[in-house]
Amino acid sequence: MDDVLTFGLVIAAIAAAGLFALFSSRISDYLRVPGPALFLVLAAVASDVWPALGDLGPETVQRIVTVALIFVLFDGGMHIGWQRCRAAAAPIATIGIAGTFLTAAALAVVAHLLLGFDWTAALLLGTALAPTDPAVVFSVLGKREVVGRSGTIIEGESGANDPVGIALMVSLLIVAEGGSNAVRHGAVEFVLQMTVGAGVGVLLGALLIRVTRRVTLPSEALYPLRTMAAAALIYGVATVAHGSGFLAVFVAGIMLGDVRGPYQREVRRVHASLASLGEIVAFAVLGLTINLKQVFTSDAWWIGLVVAVVLTLVVRPLFV
């Protein structure tokens, strides 16, 4: 019986936290701060007040954030659609790929020369910070703060540079392990991730379009479940094939964005809600890993501040 009561308490606490997160969007609008940033800070404070909340292992955090990002990227791709993406494909590809490389390199130089990081750590830090976060960008632009082609470029670049940044990080980790052929293996891994990810996204996205148009289901409620399962399947297939699952999901979402089929409006609404939930969960979980006491009693805060100022005011504007 005690187990049942404990489980009920856990469920109630999670539900209460979820409701608070939903209502906090009003606070976010009032403060003019993106919702994900607010969730990150509140979760960090909560983990310091109740340390047990921060006991999540790195692997658990990675898996939770991965699942959330799958649905955020898929919904972001659907929101952009093929027509809008095609009109801005060149700047999206240029900023999303070349811009990510240039930003990572510039941040690595800053971290090495200004902050004293060794080159390996500096490159990893620069790569981790180079992509703009798709969850934040989609959340902000979903409220139509930037419209037209500029909004499409920002959304598309944010969705594209996250898979590029992750693939680049994997490649750098391979190089960091050393060996005579490490650089070549890292380059091959990056190209493989991008090529396979894009290919799987196009192939399975095309298959999903055919299924959406031709295969009917017995209930309206099943249509969103079909696309949810398809998004997860696309990620899994691309990952197993040594490609970028995130890129595959984003590409498939773009292809499906303009498709007309049964209950597509309802499907988009459900995916928008799921992506919003994914944003809350991802940033709350990441916030739980932050130790605020350690941040403010070490050199981390000023290092982060320097990197943030240089990235925001110098590096990103210059290379864009």
**Could you read off the pLDDT of 199-251 as tens digits, one per residue?**
999 999 999 999 988 888 888 888 999 999 999 999 999 999 989 999 999 99
pLDDT of res. 204: 95
pLDDT of res. 210: 92
More confident residue, 29 or 173: 173
User: pLDDT band for position 291 (50/70/90)?
Assistant: confident
CATH assignment, 33-319: 1.20.1530.20
Rounded percentage of the chain residues whose pLDDT exceeds 70: 91
| CA–CA separation, 254 and 67 (whole Å) | 19
| CA–CA separation, 185 and 170 (whole Å) | 11
pLDDT of res. 146: 66
pLDDT of res. 230: 94
Residue 61 amino acid letter: V
pLDDT digits (tens, 9 = 90+) for 67-95: 988 998 898 888 888 888 888 888 888 88
Tell me the H-state helices in 32-147: 35-49, 58-87, 89-93, 99-113, 119-129, 134-141
